[in-house]
Chain A
Amino acid sequence: MGSQKRIAKELAELMESPPVGISVELADESNLYAWKVHLEGPENSPFAKGKFLIKLTLPTEYPFKPPTISFATKIYHPNVTNDDKGSMCLGMLRADEWKPSSRISAVLQFARQLLAEPMPDDAVEARIADTYKNNRSHYEEVARDWTRKYATE
């Protein structure tokens, strides 16, 4: 019960004053625990002009357990798994690093920031991380290409 109150509060805040490039809505009006997040690629990144759909799932134990976020839109990024799940690896979302005081707004802003500045040392896609580290221009080219292909309607 406590979790619903807090989630509703956070949702209201996010809808009222959404952070730059982020807009949220419930995937299903009757379910507070599944969110749809629209993320605009940061301007200074190869994902610029892309619109990414993120699924945010909150556990019933929220805020004591971390939420999980996954990219529904295909994205070429070292920290997002390149499969149908599109799970994103965020340090702050790991169970042992999660703090109940962290807010979804902060999580989403952090995720957006990660698009601009990937963390190749903490990567889930080692090959993309390699490309990012050793061949930046190629990485940006592919990322732009994918963004054009998958993230623009």
Chain B
Amino acid sequence: MTSSTTAAKSLTTAATLFAGPGAANNATPAVNDSATFHFVLDGTVETLSTENSPDGPIKGLMFVPSLYPQDPCNDITAPFIPTNVTRLQDVSEFGYQTIGLAPWVSPDCTQAFLNASRQAGNEALVFFVPSNNGTKPPNADDPTWQLGDGGVWKTQNLFPVYAIPGAAGATLMGQLASYSGNSSPPSSAQHEFRNGSKSFNMPADIRLFTLIDLERGGDNSKMPSLWGFILAIVGTILVLSIVLLLCYQLVQKRRRENLQRRIEAGEADIENLGLHQLKVPQEVLDSIPVYIYPGIDALSEKNLSPEKADTTTSTDEIREQKEDHEEINPRQSESTRNTPSPQSEDSEIEQPRDPHELIEPPPPTPKNQVLVEKAPHSEIQPDITQYQCEEDIPDDTKPRWNRLSRSQTTCAICLDDFVAGTSTVRELPCGHIFHVECIDMSLARNSSLCPLCKKCVLPSGCWTVPVTNTMVHRDHVVRRSQ
């Protein structure tokens, strides 16, 4: 595995025509495919060192670095380097970048070529191990590329070093000899250039232009950029989602608050909001009047014996009675219990009975009734001031209640008839009466609505049930359909 971030992908060498000395610049194009010599190595270029490797492709005119005349390597490498090969002075006159080509025969000679390249200042150095082998040279970590210094040489140069197959190196060497300007070019090349729009018979101006295409390090540099891109997208989506979610929550919260206000103001349709599933808390249950069913006859009679007053009782006492003496006639226990403070009991006792006895001697007006009703309860449970769901029930509807409760003889829940004097009934704000045990089960476990008329039992605005998004939605639907 190469430790490089930039590995050579391909090496393209072509004979390039230059108009004259000093005319080459970065815009000088490579000779096109119809050139006399075009040689591409793709996938068989091994990267030995990436020192000072540029970001883009490396371009340059190819030459063979010259060793010192007395260097023994001149003799060793002579079989692989034609005498009239392109040398530094053959390409330097164009003032263009250069790329060196050298055989890899021994560590000493390689060091000599590296040294020569450092002096020549070329952009890159390409080695080849002389052979007829056309396959990709061994990996950069292979012992072939060891110079006995543990690989330190790879970091000592100011240029990247590549290796190409031996056969390719030999080919390039041959072409470097042809286009060095030191010998006459192949006749075919001469012929071709003559047939061009401009006639050139100056082989001295043709050099081998080499382009080493680099790929950004496959597994090190390329992937991070891809991952970074994906991460950026994911992050953006995440941030957007969070922002949207927060906005949504904010809107929902405002809607819920709005609905809560409307419910408290009694504007919302409670039943449609699913609030009829509301359970009635015990303290509200306790606040609904309970009394002993006086019998249909008694209700229609105008005069009630004073004894009858005792049949009405407060909720708490009724519950005690139910626990203690289920079968005992409440009147008996009542008389003993009520003795301590007859005055206060009286006013409390009065209230539930009132609706049934409109024409009682000291007839309080309906408005007074309300006052009487409220007074004793506010003493007992100051937090609950009214027990009607429809707080706006006008006073003139009260007679209707009376008629209603007077006409009821059967509990609609258990279908049993009320027994005068023994059945304890609860009268809901709407005027319907039920057995206490029946209606309590219904209200506490099932629904806050009257089983008969579906009016809400809860005092408006007294519940603290959180308004849910579903309720907001239903309210929205209901209001839109209206």
Contact = CB atoms under 8 A, between A and B. Distances in A.
Interface of A: 2, 5-6, 9-10, 61, 63-65, 96, 99-101, 103
12 contacts: A2-B413, A2-B438, A2-B441, A6-B413, A9-B414, A9-B416, A10-B415, A63-B413, A65-B446, A96-B276, A99-B454, A103-B415
Contacts of B413: 2, 6, 63, 100-101
Residue picked from B412, B416, B445, most chain A C-beta under 10 Å: B412
Nearest to B441: A2
B446 A61 contact: yes
Nearest to A97: B454
A6 B437 CA distance: 14
Given A64-B441, A100-B442, A6 B414 contact: yes
Contacts of B446: 61, 64-65, 100
B276 A100 contact: no
A87 to B, nearest CB: 23
Interface in B407-462: 412-416, 437-438, 441-442, 445-447, 451-452, 454
A63 B454 CA distance: 15
Nearest to B274: A96
A65 B446 CA distance: 8
A131 B447 CA distance: 39
Contacts of B414: 2, 5-6, 9
B451 A101 contact: yes
B365 to A, nearest CB: 33
Task: Sort A-B residue pairs by CB-CB distance and give the 5 closest, nearest first.
Answer: A101-B412, A100-B451, A64-B446, A6-B414, A101-B452
A100 B437 contact: no
A96 B447 CA distance: 10
Contacts of A100: 412-413, 442, 446, 451
Contacts of B454: 99
A3 to B, nearest CB: 9
Interface in B37-64: none
Contact of A2 (B271, B276, B437, B447): B437
A33 to B, nearest CB: 16
Contacts of A99: 412, 451-452, 454
A63 B445 CA distance: 12
A100 B438 CA distance: 10
A4 to B, nearest CB: 10
A96 B413 CA distance: 17
Contacts of A9: 414-416
A142 B329 CA distance: 63
Interface string B256-274: 0000000000000001000
Contact of B442 (A6, A10, A64): A64
Contacts of A10: 415
B423 to A, nearest CB: 14
Interface in B133-152: none
A136 B459 CA distance: 51
A114 B271 CA distance: 27
Given A2-B414, A100-B442, 12 more contacts: A2-B438, A5-B414, A5-B416, A6-B414, A9-B414, A10-B415, A61-B445, A63-B413, A99-B452, A100-B412, A101-B413, A103-B415
A61 B441 CA distance: 10
